[in-house]
Structure 1
Amino acid sequence: MAKIVNYISEAFEELKTNVTWPEWAEVQRYTIVVAVFSVVCALATWGVDEACAKVIAGFFTWLNS
Structure 2
Amino acid sequence: MSNIRTYINDTVEEMKERVSWPTYAELQRSSVLVLIGSLIFALVVGAMDFGFDSILTWFYNQF
TM range (shorter): 0.7 to 0.9
Equivalent position amino acid for 2:18 in 1: N
Residue 6 of structure 1 aligns to which amino acid in structure 2? T
Structure 1, gaps ≥5 residues long: none
How is 1:1-65 mapped onto 2 (pairs within 5 angstroms)? 1-63=1-63
| Deviation (angstroms), 1:2 | 4.1
Identity of aligned residues (%): 32
SS of corresponding position for 2:62: helix
Aligned mates of 1:33, 1:2 — CA distance in 2: 44
Structure 1 residue 11 displacement after superposition: 1.3
User: Structure 2: any 5+ residue segments left out of the alignment?
Assistant: none
Cα distance per residue 1:2-35 (max 9 Å; x no partner) = 4334323321210100011111101100100000
Report the Cα offset of residue 52 of structure 1.
Answer: 0.2
Provide the C-alpha distance between the structure 2 equivalents of 1:62 and 1:11, rounded to a whole number of angstroms.
65
TM-score (norm. length: structure 2): 0.87
